[in-house]
Amino acid sequence: MTDQTLETQQRPTRQWLWIGLSLALFVAIVMLLFDTEDTIDVQATNTSRPPPTVSVVSVAPETVQARVSAFAEVRPRWDAELRSAVSGRITAVHSAALAGAQVEQGDRLFSIENAPYQSAVAAAEMELEQAELALLRAQNNVTVAQRQFDRDETEPPNELAVNLPQLRIAEKTVAAAQARLNAARNELKDAEVVAPFSGYVTHRFASLGQTVSPGDVLIHLSDNRQFELVAEFSQSDWALLDHPISGATTDLTQRSGGSLGQAQVRRGGGFLDQNTRQVRVFLDVTNPDERILAGDFLQVHIPGRRIPDTVTLPESALTRAGYFWFVDDEDHLQRLSANILFRSEGAVTILAPEGTGPWRVARTPLASFLPGQRVTPQSDGG
């Protein structure tokens, strides 16, 4: 047999040998994969996941003083458009009348031509003197007539006999003349327009040389010494206050939280706002901080009554639905509805739930929380 014939016979044998080895290797790989998968399943099944960690804050029932807050707009107590009380030409506009000027009570603002009013005062003075002279004559006539009847030792038949009606007319004439003189003097005084209160000139309407009539607007003046605020509270907040609140001292803070002094309650309650149906409280700021400006919004804090059996929580502990979560003695989550009393400085005060406490409350509840879920509580201290 030749070598070529021998090689031809051995070639199919080698092919079957390689096919058999490949199949054996494939079977071994498949068995190895199945064996590995079974091992992973066994390990995953036998290893339990630890309970999630929940940050908690410990709270206990206590008696607190309620603190009710609301935002209110700062308004000047006096805010007016000053109008001319007389007619005439403006002869002087003083520097205090310029827009933006800060004026003191009594500062001169405008001067209006006063010659007609000086003339009216002089005429009224002369009229008063004439009336007073007529009164002296009437008094003298009464005295003479009465003495005549006394000498005759008789009684006058009536008042006319002793000139009493003429005396009363003379007295009323003097009173009328005095009133006209006072009116003329007031008109002369009104020709000099002065600031009725201290404040800022926010706008000027009249100019030098302009002729004005009674009622024409001259300037707008806004008080800067005394402010007032009107705060509105819900009826539930109103019930938390210690009544009566008139005269109570309140704290004022900026929207950023900075202190701006105090205000005093002038009046509160008595009626509801027709639009908001809330209780209105009126406050006065007589010695305002220099940072308080008219038109600003400040937060008013009014101390309320003392309330027992309350719990104070961080605001983050409340869910949007108004619940809070706590961890019971067996480290299981429980959910309760919060009866909110008031909020103050990032905290919320609620009525204490049933029980003696303390309670471990979840500081930041998650949407994945489930009642009865086991957790690992972690207090703020670690």
DSSP secondary structure, 301-362, as one string: EEEEEEEEEEEEEEGGGS-TTSEEEEE-TTSBEEEEE--EEEEETTEEEEEPPSSS--EEEE
Residue 349: strand pairing partners? 312, 342
Q: Is the pLDDT of residue 357 over 80?
A: no
Q: Which pLDDT does position 155 carry in this prediction?
A: 86
Average of pLDDT values for 215-244?
Answer: 91
29-43, 92-106, 323-337, range with the lowest pLDDT: 29-43
Q: What pLDDT digit, counting tens, does each position of 100-125 carry?
A: 999 999 999 999 999 999 999 999 99
User: Mind listing the pLDDT tens digit for each residue in 242-269?
Assistant: 888 888 899 999 887 788 889 999 988 7
Task: Say if CB 174 and CB 128 are below 8 A apart.
Answer: yes
Instruction: Output the pLDDT for position 114.
Output: 95
Instruction: Band the pLDDT of 42: cuts 50, 70, 90.
Output: very low
Distance CA 127, CA 178 (A): 9
Top pLDDT among 362 and 270 is at 362
What pLDDT score does 274 carry? 78
> For the segment 272-292, what is each residue's pLDDT rounded down to a tens digit?
777 888 899 999 997 888 888
**74 bridge partner residues:** 229
The encoded tokens of residue 261 equal 């002094």
pLDDT value of position 335: 92
When mean pLDDT is compared over 6-20, 42-56, 210-224, 308-322, the highest value belongs to 210-224
Give the count of beta carbons closer than 10 Å to the beta carbon of residue 252. Answer: 23
- Amino acid found at 38: D
pLDDT confidence band for 345 (50 / 70 / 90): confident
Residue 205: predicted pLDDT: 96
- Read off the pLDDT of residues 188-204 as tens digits, 9 standing for 90 and up: 999 999 999 999 999 99
Cross-strand partners of 280: 232
What was the pLDDT predicted at 36? Answer: 57
CA distance 369 to 381: 23
Query: Is the pTM above the cut of 0.85?
Result: no
Q: Is the pLDDT of residue 63 over 50?
A: yes
pLDDT mean over 345-355:
86
Averaged pLDDT score across all residues of the chain: 87
**What value does the mean pLDDT take over residues 297-301?**
91
Angle between the 164-190 and 115-151 helix axes, to the nearest 10 degrees? 160
pLDDT at 40: 46
